[in-house]
Structure 1
Amino acid sequence: MSKKILTGANGAPVADNQNARTAGPRGPVLIDDFHLIEKLAHFNRENIPERRVHAKGAAAHGKFVVTKDITKYSCAKLFSQVGKETPIFARFSTVGGERGSADTVRDPRGFSLKFYTEEGNWDIVGNNTPVFFIRDSIKFPDFIRTQKRDPKSNLKDPNMMWDFWSHSPEALHQVTILFSDRGIPDGFRFMHGYGSHTYSLINKDGVRTWVKWHYRTQQGIKNLDPQKADELAGTNPDYATQDLFDAIEKGDFPKWGVYIQIMTEEQAKQYKENPFDVTKVWSQKEFPLHEVGYFELNRNPENYFAEVEQAAFAPSNVIPGTGLSPDKMLQGRVFAYADAQRYRVGTNYQLLPINAPKCPYANYQRDGAMRFDSNGGGSLNYEPNSDETTPKQTNLREPYFPADLSGPAGIYDHREDGDYYSQPAALFNLMTPEQKQLLIDNIVGSMQDVKTDVVKRMIEHFTKIHPDYGQGIAKGLKLK
């Protein structure tokens, strides 16, 4: 076997990688040691900005397999026949913590899927919960700041998040899930996933159907006791990351069944609630789950930075036969996610191998930092043009979001819907006495150092969900 020669980034061989050039044996170091300067300058730039949200995560490659025919709902080619396989990349994450934070904190888990289809990349960027804290994307920066650090102390402050929630009762459904026994999953393999938002599917006739995506773990649901989670945060903060990696290395490939709830456009117009409100679920009695297929994760990344840290998911990645909805949170994420990737990774982030489509692609994007392909060569960089060999639009019906818009443009109060309590009440009533007590104990523990006026507002909300809910928390906090 021939010995590999160490080279610089320009390919030139490196004579000495152990010693810097100096003026004499004791120095000082000379600035013309370009190999030293290159090493230090590259090292200084090895960390790209971490994700503002979902910074700590783990991921794996796998496959999606169709098991049921849904072609009457979608003309997307990945659903074209039963048994068809499509490569995927899945990333799991916590939400509020930094890259070095613990995997076992009480937090929603990000649950993002990238499908490398023959028609382009399709991303569903969701969570392990079917709902979210807010329903309008204009509140997203405000909400996320409450999950980060206090600008003065640089410490996490429960006053921030509880204060925000006390003024945002639409968050109560998600808060109840977060502080329930499912608030700390036992690793990433033992939790369900959801697209959370309402999405759409479009068939070959242009008929649109609203859908909710569900991924049901085939490993079973397992959650961590809060005390065990705290212990792991100090002894093995990468607990979930290690669990996923080790399972795949051993050949114990995790699987999730893929299902959809289906609602027609006519049903949506008549539905008693806003079907595009991500703080609420659709009744599974009225809109049962329909099997679509399953996905399996069967290959770990070879390099964490290249494949996981640089992975860029965005709900703007849609393909023919799939689409979005008027969900106000989803609409904001369509812009925000892709824009975050342009800032975090660079304007050419979609050219990186982990993000690039596996099908042929062509566009008129040119230049920008880190453009490492041919940059379009000598081809034209504008359109329309007279060169028949350059990329041309398909002139097919717009497949993503057929417009059905009405009403004057304006700013509408998203809190005019005052039913914040019925769905968390239904969830609370489903719980066993032990689950209810754990929920109450978890909230009491979180609110120990929260200001009295905030606590009182929250107890009013919890009492409206169920008297036992509010009274249990008041008792735990020793309040009347």
Structure 2
Amino acid sequence: MATEPTKKNGPLLTTADGAPIADQENSLTAGPRGPLLMQDVVLQEQMQRFNRERVPERVVHAKGSGAYGTFTVTNDISKYTRAAMFSEVGKETELSIRFSTVAGERGAADAERDPRGFAVKFYTEEGNWDLVGNNTPVFFVRDPYKFAMFIHSQKRHPHTNLRDADMQWDFWSLCPESLHQVTWLFGDRGIPKTYRHMNGYGSHTYSLINAEGERVWVKFHFKTDQGIECLTNEEAADLIAQDRESHQRDLWEAIDNGDFPTWTAYIQVMTQEQAAEVDYNPFDLTKVWPHGDFPLIEVGKLELNRNPNNYHHEVEQAAYNPSSLVPGIGPSPDKMLQGRLMSYQDAHLYRIGVNYRDLRVNRPRTEVRSYMRDGQFGGQLDEGTGHPNYYPNSVEGAPRPDPSYAEPAWHLGDVTVERYNSREDHDDFSQAAALYHLMDEDAKERLVQSLAGAMAGVTRQEIIDRQLGHFDNVDEEYGRRVREAVTAARNAGGDGQSLDAAMAVRDAVPEGEAQRD
């Protein structure tokens, strides 16, 4: 149920196209726990417009530091996930990490009271997996409609260009779901002493899927092995007065001196049955899962052991996407996560460019084979031109999907989320037949000759045969006439087969087979 609007008079809120907006706080979802629907175009407009508001620094998490390292599996969790990086104890995966503040600009001080970003890119053998979280297990809002508005309230007033307490607390006071995170932020852990002395959390609820196709819900935790250390307001003020890059300096110098920081990784696991029974929404980003009910399970060790060589290339242009997922690790109905799956990717496409994954720091360690080509600054990952840039296709050696990687369906109340076959239970021929039958003889002949002229340039007989089969299924006469005209056109060009052979191919195609690739 939509929340009641704020009791203030004002002009009508509209989209950028001037259409009235009925609700500015609640996304359109399939059921109360989601997932989001793509038809919520107002939400998309808001998030996409928000991603393009500042150039060139990040809209949020603008001030950050980065490093490289490794993740080593210390406990077998293969019963929960088929992800290759967790396949055996002792397995190592290379990673990059970026720590950051949230609200401050690139010139902000490191030791300000602010949440800290904790974003990790694992270069797995199945592609990049990005876990993009914070140093707190919760966040200020649970619905992506409020995310851009929240960030606006923490930034600068558009009139004065100053941080404004009225803006911050006006938003928080109107959004009581922020209380949990506000208590974290203004508590003793609100100002970490360094990036090394804080925990990291995936924050959102994710899913793990095992080799049998069984799904569980999961939260990720990274506990610092250096111990939690934080600053008081007075200590932070003194430190900022001396060094605005205190966290950057500490991280760089620790790694440079061989004092490699480490974190122990854990997961919490909740079954789908448990998710239906708990008395809170387990996909709500403002909530934690009590450790007494869902204890921490150790997974591995994260170590940072190498500094970047070029800050701009390897930290400023590093792009972390919640949508970068690998087989065995997936999203959940968490509304904020669903919004971030689009928003972060969109921000990188705008800020860095459509080929941002060609940069070394973002490049998967696996071979990339896709149908996405060209664009500004493309070509660093040269796939060659051995296959076309469209799918479906029948070109030998072109990349193909593998159904064995399909995720199991989500059963969310009365709604089932899965990839429904877009060809199943569809009649693709009767309306084309009706159109054909409306034509008089002259119109039919012009149609047939136009088709024959266009198809005469096709060099592969299998493509012609497949298309002729479709015409046969529309109407036997339609198929026969096009077949005769195509054969005549190709023979006239010295490049066709005999009419008898073409008719034999037609007769060999069972009814209904021609439309299937």
TM-score interval w.r.t. the shorter chain?
0.7 to 0.9
Match of 1:61 in 2: 68
Q: Find the aligned partners of 2:245 and 2:177 in 1 and give their Cα distance.
A: 32
Counterpart pick for 1:391 among 366, 382, 399: 399
Match of 1:345 in 2: 352
1:397-408 equivalences in 2 (<5 Å): 397-399=405-407, 402-407=409-414
Match of 1:80 in 2: 87
Match of 1:333 in 2: 340
Q: Find the aligned partners of 2:265 and 2:399 in 1 and give their Cα distance.
A: 35
1:82-121 equivalences in 2 (<5 Å): 82-121=89-128
Counterpart pick for 1:368 among 375, 398, 417: 375
1:278-427 equivalences in 2 (<5 Å): 278-373=285-380, 376-379=383-386, 380-399=388-407, 402-407=409-414
Equivalent pairs, count: 362
Match of 2:22 in 1: none
Q: CA deviation at 1:179?
A: 0.2
Q: CA deviation at 1:231?
A: 2.1
Given the superposition, is the C-alpha separation of residues 48 and 370 from structure 1 closer, same or farther in structure 2, using an over 3 Å criterion? farther
Match of 1:231 in 2: 238
Q: CA deviation at 1:373?
A: 2.6
1:206 aligned onto 2:195: no
Given the superposition, is the C-alpha separation of residues 397 and 300 from structure 1 closer, same or farther in structure 2, using an over 3 Å criterion? closer
CA RMSD of aligned residues (A): 1.5
Q: Find the aligned partners of 2:295 and 2:178 in 1 and give their Cα distance.
A: 25
Given the superposition, is the C-alpha separation of residues 318 and 287 from structure 1 closer, same or farther in structure 2, using an over 3 Å criterion? same
Query: What do the CA deviations read for 1:280-305 (whole angstroms, capped 9, x no partner)?
Result: 10010011100001100000001000
Q: CA deviation at 1:403?
A: 2.5
Match of 1:182 in 2: 189
Structure 1 stretches of 4+ moved >6 Å: none
Structure 2: 5+ residue stretches without partners:
1-53, 417-517
Query: What do the CA deviations read for 1:47-93 (whole angstroms, capped 9, x no partner)?
Result: 96100000000010000000000000001110110000000111100
Q: CA deviation at 1:244?
A: 0.3
Match of 1:450 in 2: none
1:144 aligned onto 2:151: yes
Contact map agreement 2:56 2:351 (CA 8 A) in 1 = yes
Q: Find the aligned partners of 1:397 and 1:109 in 2 and give their Cα distance.
A: 34
Q: CA deviation at 1:103?
A: 0.3
Contact map agreement 1:59 1:91 (CA 8 A) in 2 = yes
Given the superposition, is the C-alpha separation of residues 218 and 118 from structure 1 closer, same or farther in structure 2, using an over 3 Å criterion? same
The letter of the residue matching 2:229 is K
Q: Find the aligned partners of 1:231 and 1:178 in 2 and give their Cα distance.
A: 19
> What SS does the aligned partner of 2:279 have?
coil
Contact map agreement 1:367 1:375 (CA 8 A) in 2 = no
Q: CA deviation at 1:276?
A: 0.4
Q: Find the aligned partners of 1:241 and 1:374 in 2 and give their Cα distance.
A: 31
Match of 2:136 in 1: 129
Q: Find the aligned partners of 2:152 and 2:414 in 1 and give their Cα distance.
A: 33
Contact map agreement 1:88 1:116 (CA 8 A) in 2 = yes
Match of 1:27 in 2: none
Q: Find the aligned partners of 1:352 and 1:332 in 2 and give their Cα distance.
A: 25
Q: CA deviation at 1:408?
A: 7.7
The letter of the residue matching 2:285 is V
The letter of the residue matching 1:254 is P
Contact map agreement 1:67 1:293 (CA 8 A) in 2 = yes
Query: What do the CA deviations read for 1:364-416 (whole angstroms, capped 9, x no partner)?
Result: 111111113365433311112122211111122423x732234589xxxxxxx
Query: What do the CA deviations read for 1:332-353 (whole angstroms, capped 9, x no partner)?
Result: 0000000000000001111111
Structure 1: 5+ residue stretches without partners:
1-46, 410-480
> What SS does the aligned partner of 1:181 have?
coil
Q: Find the aligned partners of 1:354 and 1:89 in 2 and give their Cα distance.
A: 8
- TM score, norm. by length of structure 2: 0.69
Q: CA deviation at 1:225?
A: 1.6
Given the superposition, is the C-alpha separation of residues 61 and 408 from structure 1 closer, same or farther in structure 2, using an over 3 Å criterion? closer
Match of 2:168 in 1: 161
Q: Find the aligned partners of 1:90 and 1:377 in 2 and give their Cα distance.
A: 31
Match of 2:259 in 1: 252
Q: Find the aligned partners of 2:409 and 2:68 in 1 and give their Cα distance.
A: 32
Contact map agreement 1:366 1:375 (CA 8 A) in 2 = no
Match of 2:226 in 1: 219
Q: Find the aligned partners of 1:53 and 1:237 in 2 and give their Cα distance.
A: 18
Identity %: 56
The letter of the residue matching 2:186 is F
> What SS does the aligned partner of 1:272 have?
coil
Q: Find the aligned partners of 1:289 and 1:178 in 2 and give their Cα distance.
A: 23
Question: Which structure ranks higher in relative contact order (CA pairs < 8 Å, sequence separation ≥ 6)?
Answer: 1
Q: Find the aligned partners of 1:298 and 1:389 in 2 and give their Cα distance.
A: 40
Contact map agreement 2:133 2:202 (CA 8 A) in 1 = yes
> What SS does the aligned partner of 2:313 have?
helix
Match of 2:476 in 1: none
> What SS does the aligned partner of 1:404 have?
strand
Match of 1:432 in 2: none
> What SS does the aligned partner of 1:211 have?
strand
Q: Find the aligned partners of 1:250 and 1:374 in 2 and give their Cα distance.
A: 35
Between stretches 390-399 and 317-326, larger displacement belongs to: 390-399
Q: Find the aligned partners of 1:381 and 1:375 in 2 and give their Cα distance.
A: 13
